[in-house]
Amino acid sequence: MSKIAVVRIRGLTRIRGNFADILKMLNLNKKNSCVIIENTSSMIGRIKKVKDFVTWGEISDEIAALLEPRKKGKYYALCPPKGGFDRKGIKMPFNKKGALGYRGDKINDLLKRMI
């Protein structure tokens, strides 16, 4: 089964309680934190509920190996991406040139800029 990387993009401002609980279950307590989880339907359902706060996609083995030194317990502490997020910022979905939502394999490019 493949692994997916989930990166929290947005902070806690104006977040509803049930969304905060889901982010806490995923161990995404801070901005620019990342977790690597199994690609199961229950996890995808959780991620889709908080799609306006995170971005996710399938991670390659080489990027997962590069992330290991950044591990802080159950999550990976990352820096903001070099060159910033995409053109429309952190409030728009990825398919509209923003930063949020499902990225597929392009999550590897983002993680490489955040390491």
DSSP track, 27-87: T--STTEEEEEE--HHHHHHHHHTTTTEEEEEPPHHHHHHHGGGEETTEEE-PPPTT-S-T
pTM surpassing 0.85? yes
Predicted pLDDT of residue 66: 94
Q: Is 25 helix (H, G, I), strand (E, B) or coil?
A: helix
Predicted pLDDT of residue 1: 59
Going by C-beta distance under 8 Å and a sequence separation of 6 or more, which residues neighbour residue 84? Answer: none
Give the C-alpha separation, 109 to 103, whole Å.
Answer: 10
Predicted pLDDT of residue 12: 82
Domain count of the fold of the chain:
1
Q: Give the pLDDT of the chain (115 residues) as one tens digit per residue.
A: 589 999 999 988 888 889 999 999 999 999 999 999 999 999 999 999 999 999 999 999 999 999 999 999 999 999 999 988 877 888 888 988 889 999 999 999 999 999 9
Structure tokens at 5: 């990387």
Give residue 14's domain range. 3-114
Predicted pLDDT of residue 31: 93
CATH for 70: 3.30.1390.20
Q: Is 92 helix (H, G, I), strand (E, B) or coil?
A: coil
